[in-house]
Structure 1
Amino acid sequence: MVTANTRTLLLGRSEKRTKQWGIGAGILLVASLLYFSAVKAVDYPTIHLALWWEGYAVLLTVLVAVQAYSNGGLVVSWLLTFAAVVGLILNYGGIGLTEDGPGILQLIGLATVGGVIAAAIVGTLGFGIGTAVRRIAE
């Protein structure tokens, strides 16, 4: 049986905000796919370098911390991170290609595994920061 405290920890304090952040995760996936597709197609390194690994991870952590501050919800934090990283990896971001690129099934597998790992690390970190700041502010 799921208690109210467990539900709040996992899904957040407001069902409405949880749904809004869930829609935001879908938008983030599409935006990530489009952004990294454009960077790959245009091969424009100045934009690309601004939002590559370090910058992308920091922005993602800040976004997740804002979500955790506003509503909480560990699963929502993981979902936001997962969506953003899947969009990155599906554009071959972070895949060191020395020969031919992976096939579509391998690419989807890499994106899934990479998204789960990033969600566990960045999503949990951002959730912890946002929750801590909210508790301190209260």
Structure 2
Amino acid sequence: MTSQTIAEVAEHCGLTAHTLRYYERDGLLLRPVPRTSSGHRAYGAYDVRWIELVTRLRATGMPIREVKAYTELVRAGDGNESERLALLRAHRDRVLAQLAEVTSHLGAIDAKIGIYQDRIDQPGAPVRATA
């Protein structure tokens, strides 16, 4: 893969160039983004993969401070895998709890849809209680 511009990476990752610059300023990237001779950012495949991970962590609700802590651990190199694992497991547990809650809410929505669908499919049938 050849290098990509900030606009290309932003589009690929579903972010804005402003967000990528913020990630860079706030220390969420593993290394400084290489620059072309004209000073433009030149993201490599390694950079893009990391940005994709950061984007997934943020999309699942990981706070910036935790993403930053994780980034610092990875940047520090070997020897802190247990801390990385603990951080990711704690985040996974929170995501699973959120998923269970959303699944429960979805069940309630599906039940309500079923009530209205029954009314449409069987207009003369007895009506179940609705809100």
TM superposition score category, shorter chain reference: 0.3 to 0.5
Q: TM-score, normalised by structure 1?
A: 0.31
* Higher RCO (CA-CA < 8 Å; seq separation 6+): 1
Structure with the higher fraction of residues in helix conformation: 1
TM-score, structure 2 length as denominator? 0.32
| Larger Cα-atom Rg | 2
